[in-house]
Amino acid sequence: MSIAVIFGSNSFEHEISIVSAIAMKDVIKNDLIYIFIDKHRNFYHIPVSMIKSTLFSSGKYKKCDKLELHQGGFYKKGMFGAKKLDFEYVLNLVHGGDGEDGVIASLFDFFAVPFVGPRIEASVISCNKYLTKSYAKSCDVKTIDFSFFTKNDTVVVEEYPVIIKPVRLGSSIGVSIVKEQSQLNYALDIAFEFDDEIIIEPFISGIKEYNLAGCKCNGEFKFSIVEEPEKHEFLDFDKKYLDFTRTSKVNSADIDMSLEFELKQTFKKLYNNTFEGALIRCDFFVVDDRVILNEINSIPGSMANYLFDDFDRILDELSYSQPRKKLINITYDYVNKIQSAKGKA
């Protein structure tokens, strides 16, 4: 089986996507085909032997073959016409904009390209922190209380410390902890540099955090181990960046079976049918023995491979469990009836 890994694109997380894609070489045993999207949204076929970060930072990727997206897949121009790249499906590893906001998913749906990753609705929900909280509430899942502001609003914080987050970014980009009023304007400037909308949450020091990844294959949930990430004041960009290079397995969190069961039940509520076709990671808080959603990672760093005992098997099973679009039979009966009626008039 050949898997096409697509990565890069016009996103604040462009470089993170490159690092995450490179990590797949050491994780996926199937043959890989790399498809890079540059900042201008051009597609390039990158030979596996050439995959390293300097290829992209130097601009040398432009010497690789350009690709075009057409019905059914990607095509490479040749002397005797366009030739289709041969792969079973595309693995969406475009982090941030384009990849996690539904742009790539809509392209693949439109051109009937089989892919593993969040569909349009799932992408829209999970990439927007405000919408994620609304979605979680509809699924009877608790979240941290928050306030929502736009760039034109007067931001009022009544009690510190708080954490400020751009609404549409991941990897802790633009995120700040604000402990007093004097730090507020600087943190707002940082957040609004990346997005015109923010959320502000109370910052709870020493909160328990747990990560759980999984997917649904043939109607059955497949879960990773539960990870308790290494504790810092909060996982900033530099610390989260390591997630995108991880290929070594991590140890399970030391928790009792009842908490593990509750985390998995909460995951199921969130995954629902909305995230079918994707392997996601949910990051949870536990406060006063209550499981609270922090965020949904619809394309987790390095696909959260380090949380699974047999990542290849999970990916293979997921690839055969993709949602199918209902084919619509276009008959033109209505148009023909109108024309027929006009002919009789």
Is 344 a member of any domain? Answer: no
Q: Does 10 share its domain with 109?
A: yes
Give a yes or no: residue 324 inside a domain: no
Domain co-membership, 244 together with 135 = yes
- Amino acid present at 82: A
Whether residues 310 and 175 fall in one domain: no
Q: Enumerate residues 6+ apart whose C-beta is below 8 A from 88.
A: 1, 2, 3, 114, 319
Over the stretch 150-192, which tens digit does the pLDDT of each residue have?
Answer: 999 999 999 999 999 999 876 678 899 999 999 999 999 999 9
Backbone angles phi, psi at 296, to 5 degrees: -110, 120
Q: Which residues, at least 6 apart from 314, have a Cβ–Cβ distance to it below 8 Å?
A: 215, 217, 222, 279, 308
Residue 46 in any domain: the answer is yes
Task: For residues 191 and 118, give the distance between their C-alpha atoms in angstroms, rounded to a whole number.
Answer: 26
Residues of the chain with pLDDT under 70: 170-171, 231-247, 343-345
- Burial (CB count <10 Å: 0-12, 13-18, 19+), residue 286: middle
Instruction: Give the Å distances, CA to CA, from 243 to 161, 232, 281.
Output: 27, 14, 12
Q: Residue 95: what are its φ and ψ, rounded to 5°?
A: -80, 145
Instruction: Decide if 264 is inside a domain.
Output: yes
Statement to judge: residues 315 and 219 lie in one domain: yes
Same domain, 130 and 157: no
Same domain for 194 and 218, yes or no, is no
Mean pLDDT, the chain, whole residue set: 91
Q: Are residues 186 and 173 in the same domain?
A: yes
Residue 325, domain member (yes or no): no
Q: Looking at the structure, tell me whether residues 248 and 135 fall in a common domain.
A: yes
Q: What is the CATH number of the domain that holds 195?
A: 3.30.1490.20
Does residue 327 lie in a domain region? no
Considering the domain architecture, whether residues 305 and 283 belong to the same structural domain is answered as: yes
Asked if residue 296 and residue 257 are part of one domain, the reply reads: yes
Residue 345, pLDDT score = 46
Whether 218 is covered by a domain: the verdict is yes
User: What pLDDT, in 10s, does the model give residues 56-109?
Assistant: 999 999 999 999 999 999 999 887 789 999 999 999 999 998 999 999 999 999
pLDDT score, position 171:
61
Same domain, 272 and 133: yes
Provide the CATH number for the domain around residue 104: 3.40.50.20
- The number of distinct structural domains making up the chain is 3
Q: DSSP for 246-313?
A: --S--PPP---HHHHHHHHHHHHHHHTTTTTT--EEEEEEEETTEEEEEEEESS-GGGGGGG-SSHHH
Rounded Cα distance between 295 and 129, Å, is 7
131 & 190 share domain: no
Residues spanned by the domain of 214: 125-142+206-319
* Cβ-contact 312, 28 below 8 angstroms: yes
